[in-house]
Amino acid sequence: MSLNCSTSSNPLQLPLVRGRAESAPPLIRGGREGFWSNEFFGKKLVIRLVILSFFTLWAAFAAAQEGVVVPKPGAKDLCPVCGMLVSKYPNWVAVVKYRDGHAHFFDGAKDMFKYLQDLHKYAPGHRSEEIAGIHVTEFYSLGKVDARKAFFVIGSDVLGPMGHEFVPLETRADAEEFLKDHKGKQILTFEQVTADVVERVDNGKF
Ligand SMILES: [Zn+2]
């Protein structure tokens, strides 16, 4: 009502109104840009943050499930199977960690398998139920991977500190690639490594 009154009662205001109407489209566009940049991208940012925090939590949860930190061998840690200094062979280190936090270190997966297959002999007083995690050094990344999920190539041209070895790979695809590149004979999972297989590898019979 008041708008009608003012426009009709004073014709001088008409050009002003028209002026406003002409400038209206850029204002609306500007308003839209504001809408897209602030509201839309703002929402996108929030979604990104939610996704990021979700993955952070998931990673932390996965780490907790994994059995947490894999300890490193000290300068004087000896392999309980062969008696060699483990720290001299960082590219081959295998680790059996117990629930109370202490760990035993090996200069290769082969000795780790021997140890696990005869805990009574190599670690008197230790029980397999007390083991919190078993890790091996992955051939390509040199990172520690869960031995129970790893793939082991035997019969290859890559020798460890104790001769023929079980070369640990993280994925089956990596194991297949390694087998091809290094003339390996067989890919085994953790469960497939029996005492017989260890003996064969020890004797170089594949
Ligand atoms: Zn050893």
pLDDT at 182 over 80: yes
Does 76 fall in a domain? no
Q: Cα 120–198–119 angle (5° rounding)?
A: 10
Report the separation in Å between the CA atom of 63 and the middle of ligand 1, taken as the mean of its atom positions. Answer: 28
Question: What separation in Å is there between the alpha carbon of 179 and the centre of ligand 1?
Answer: 24
Check whether 5 has a pLDDT greater than 80.
Answer: no
Instruction: Report CA(133)–ligand 1 centroid distance (Å).
Output: 18
Q: Are residues 94 and 152 in the same domain?
A: yes
**Does 73 reside within a domain?**
no
Query: Is residue 46 domain-shared with residue 141, that is, in the same domain?
Result: no
77's CB contacts (< 8 A; 6+ apart) are: 85, 86, 87, 105
- Residue 168 CA, ligand 1 centroid: distance in Å: 16
Q: Which of 182, 172, 180, 122 is nearest to 152 (CA)?
A: 172
Mapping DSSP to helix (H, G, I), strand (E, B) and coil, where does residue 18 land? helix
**Residue 104 belongs to some domain of the structure:** yes
Phi (first) and psi of residue 66, to 5 degrees: -60, -25
Same structural domain, 59 and 117: no
pLDDT (mean) for 54-64: 56
How many whole angstroms from 136 Cα to the centroid of ligand 1? Answer: 13
Q: Kindly state whether residues 123 and 176 are assigned to the same domain.
A: yes
Is residue 46 very low, low, confident or very high in pLDDT (cuts 50, 70, 90)? Answer: confident
The structure's pTM equals 0.69
User: Do 131 and 192 belong together in one domain?
Assistant: yes
* Residues 137 and 96 reside in one and the same domain: yes
Whether 78 is covered by a domain: the verdict is: no
Paired tokens of 165: 């070895």
Which of 205, 134, 193 minimizes the C-alpha distance to 166?
Answer: 193
> Tell me, what's the pLDDT at 81?
97
Residues 107 and 192 in one domain: yes
Same domain, 130 and 198: yes
The helix (run of H) or strand (run of E) holding residue 199 is helix 195-202
Last residue of a domain, one of 35, 66, 97: 66
Facing residues of 97 across strands? Answer: 103, 133
Give yes or no for residue 42 having a pLDDT over 60: yes
105 CA from centroid of ligand 1 (Å): 8
Q: How many domains are contained in the chain?
A: 2
Are both 178 and 90 inside the same structural domain? yes
Alpha-carbon gap, residue 179 to 35, rounded angstroms: 57
**Domain annotation covers residue 20:** yes
Domain boundary among 37, 66, 95: 66
Query: Phi and psi at residue 191, in whole multiples of 5°?
Result: -65, -25
Q: Which residues of 148-180 are buried (b: 16+ CB within 10 A; e: fewer)?
A: eebbbbbbbeeebbbebbbbbbbeeebbeebbe
Instruction: Compute, in angstroms, the gap from residue 94 CA to the centroid of ligand 1.
Output: 10
Q: Is the pLDDT of residue 11 over 70?
A: no
**Residue 96 and residue 62 share a domain:** no
What is the whole-number distance in angstroms between the Cα of residue 80 and the centre of ligand 1? 7
Q: Are 59 and 147 part of one and the same domain?
A: no
Expressed in angstroms and rounded, the spacing between residue 93 Cα and the centre of ligand 1 is 9
Q: Does residue 158 fall inside a structural domain?
A: yes
Give the range of the structural domain holding residue 120, as residue numbers without chain letter: 86-202
Asked if 39 and 93 sit in the same domain, the reply is no
Give me ligand 1 centre to Cα 117, in Å. Answer: 14
User: Could you tell me the distance, in angstroms and rounded to a whole number, from the CA of residue 135 to the centre of ligand 1?
Assistant: 15
Is residue 81 in some structural domain?
Answer: no
Specify if 187 maps to a domain: yes
Q: How many CB atoms lie within 10 A of CB 92?
A: 24
Give the Å distance between the CA of 110 and the centre of ligand 1.
8
Mean pLDDT of the chain: 83
The pLDDT > 70 percentage for the chain reads: 69
CA of 115 to the centre of ligand 1 (A): 9
